[in-house]
Chains A and B, each alone.
Chain A
Amino acid sequence: MAVPAQSSPREAIRVSGLWKRYGALEAVRGITFEVREGEIFGLIGPDGAGKTSTFQILAGVMRATGGTAHIFGRPAREARAETGYLTQAFSLYADLSVDENIRYIGDLRRVPPDVVAERGRRYLAMFGMDRFAGRLAGRLSGGMKQKLALTCALVPEPRVLLLDEPTTGVDPVSRREFWDALAHLAAGGLTIVVATPYLDEAERCHRVSLMHLGEIHATGTPAELRAGLGAQRLEVRCARLGEAEALALSLRGRGGPVMDVQRFGDRLDVLTPDAAEGERALRDAAARARLPIADMRMDTPTLENVFVTTLRRLGQQPAPAPFPARHDHGALSRQTAIGATNLTKRFGPFTAVNNVHLEIRYGEVYGLLGANGAGKTTTIKMLCGLLEPTQGHVQLAGERGRVRSERVRQRIGYMSQRFSLYNDLTVEENLNFFAGVYGVPPDERDAKRRWVLAFSGLEGKEREITGSLPGGWKQRVAFGAAIMHEPTVLFLDEPTSGVDPLARRAFWAMINRLADAGTAILVTTHYLEEAEQ
């Protein structure tokens, strides 16, 4: 069991039969859980699960419709001095320095200035940020901003820390440091509740609750949840992965040997109730189809398996609306789609990209990984003709040099890190605009638009103003808008940042389908579990 060391198993938080209604919408529907002192407790669930409402009630900034939330025995609203709350949005003053932000928060929370100074120094040192005390908050990287926000939340020395998706947009090195700091603080007795859409982060919690449509469906340690699934995972390697996937999917069904199939870049993950039986069924089917399987091995299921399987049992299927493909790029197969030689970009004395060579062929998915500031976005901008290289050559969609021509532009799709959509247009107007820019033939537009709406879960909401949508939904529309014209080359810069696991899965299923149809795809991501795809 996950009893944190050096702390009594005292109850820190008790939530009992909690409800929250907004008009007709029931955001939280009678949830109950406890968190022990010194525990890291994770709330995981898709967008709209009710996690943020739960946090707002625990933080005492919103009233519940029914039920109770207690922190160290007192109602959450009366225990606000005990809680620190980090919201999804960046909540610091960009034009104040790191130190000034800390002093300002200390003042607000009425902590004596000398105490604020001492604690500020201590936490900045703990997070490796002491050298940046004088820097403007607006000029920090994503990871450092989050560490500063955490420092500000810690300065009043709360006993409970509430973190609502604290690592969105934070690179892997900073993410690991952030979680190392959380583990350290929890070991010192701080109680932490954290929501995250990233299931590798959920592995770092002592216990986790899986939330969906306002209800909690499973609670336990990550190991208990994995064991509770009653399934094993087979990793299948095979040269003809697309065929193997179709084969495994044909064995899926109630009581059958296959519960779930997920495609990764160089393997399939097949979830099965019984590994021996699952392996036999797969091998038999492969033999009948004359499909050689290179390797098959058993492993424990992941939290992602638990998540997807549980939601599927609840009837939430990542809707696989078939993409209305009208063009096949198979003829281009194996030719170079994106090429770079000696690619270099300097901004004054700063070398952002140094001598990069790469070659990506049609039908390939290429992941570009790196910390913030490693040069990924600059590289992408040069590759797709948005930025002139200082040195070196680019080859794109069959053209050299003239990569900014109209002809090339209609063959590529680009989804930028910041939303490429117009916030003050409706969803429909955005889709019409991009269909026009990318030259989608008029007779295909309607089918494509309907597909994007289905993929985004926005059917019937096409008249809504894009800016009013939650981030995860906007990402889905932006992704859809970038592929409506069936580009032969697709650039995706952090496409899944802030997107929940089910939607992320739908993104990757689509990416693989596009690659199978011959599209070359370059993706950047901070989430390395998806780089495996």
Chain B
Amino acid sequence: MVAGELVVEGSPDGIKRREMAHRRLLEVRVDQPQRAVDALRRDTDPWRIALFGDRLHVIADDDGDRAGELLAGSLRKHGLEVLEIRDGRFSLEDVFISVVERARQEGRVALEEGA
């Protein structure tokens, strides 16, 4: 539910499949995690990047097998050393954040304003 409206409805698996159909979650280890977060957030939507301990979670637009390569390239361009990139699984929280973000971009919700 966003701003008084039901925006997505279904089983947890169904919602993940539908909402994240053209996206994938990449788990990334680099030599300087926070620098990588800051750099990627300047390049793309900030909500796509989160730091989990020493691993980055990056929600990428699925581009076949190239998503990982593209990400590695962009990290190297920022002078970061990429130690590992692998596919992860979306949590329902990832889905929630991206649904709310989409609503926000469509001007449907000014978050926390109504509080």
Partners in one complex: yes
Q: Given A5-B33, A355-B5 in contact, is the A371-B111 Cβ separation under 8 Å?
A: yes
**Minimal Cβ-Cβ distance residue in B for A358:** B6
Contact A204 B93 (CB under 8 A): no
Contact A184 B93 (CB under 8 A): no
Contact B34 A265 (CB under 8 A): no
- Interface stretch, picked from A24-32, A56-64, A172-180, is A172-180
Partner of B3, one of A5, A222, A375: A375
Residues of B78-98 contacting chain A, CB below 8 A: 89, 91-93, 95-97
Say yes or no for A298: interface residue by CB 8 A criterion: no
Partner of A371, one of B5, B37, B54, B100: B100
Say yes or no for B107: interface residue by CB 8 A criterion: no
Contact B96 A143 (CB under 8 A): no
Contact B1 A370 (CB under 8 A): yes
**Minimal Cβ-Cβ distance residue in B for A129:** B112
Say yes or no for A53: interface residue by CB 8 A criterion: no
Say yes or no for A354: interface residue by CB 8 A criterion: yes
**Minimal Cβ-Cβ distance residue in B for A207:** B53
Residues of A within 8 A of B32 (CB): 5-6
Instruction: Using C-beta atoms within 8 Å of the partner chain, give the interface range for chain A.
Output: 35 or more
Residues of B within 8 A of A379 (CB): 1
Whole-angstrom distance between the Cβ of B35 and the nearest chain A Cβ: 7
Say yes or no for B70: interface residue by CB 8 A criterion: no
Contact A265 B11 (CB under 8 A): yes
Interface of A is mostly: mixed
Residues of B within 8 A of A5 (CB): 31-35
Distance between Cα atoms of A354 and B109 in the complex (Å): 13
Distance between Cα atoms of A368 and B30 in the complex (Å): 37
Contact with A along B35-79 (1 / 0, CB 8 A): 101000000000100111110000000000000000000000000
- Interface stretch, picked from A408-416, A419-427, A503-511, A524-532, is A524-532
Contact B96 A369 (CB under 8 A): yes
Say yes or no for A187: interface residue by CB 8 A criterion: yes
Residues of B within 8 A of A203 (CB): 52-53
B contact residues vs A (CB 8 Å cutoff): 1-6, 9, 11-13, 31-35, 37, 47, 50-54, 89, 91-93, 95-97, 100, 111-112, 114-115
A contact residues vs B (CB 8 Å cutoff): 2-6, 40, 139-141, 143-144, 172-174, 176, 179-180, 183-184, 186-187, 200, 203-207, 221-223, 264-267, 299, 345, 350-358, 368-376, 378-379, 528-529, 531-532
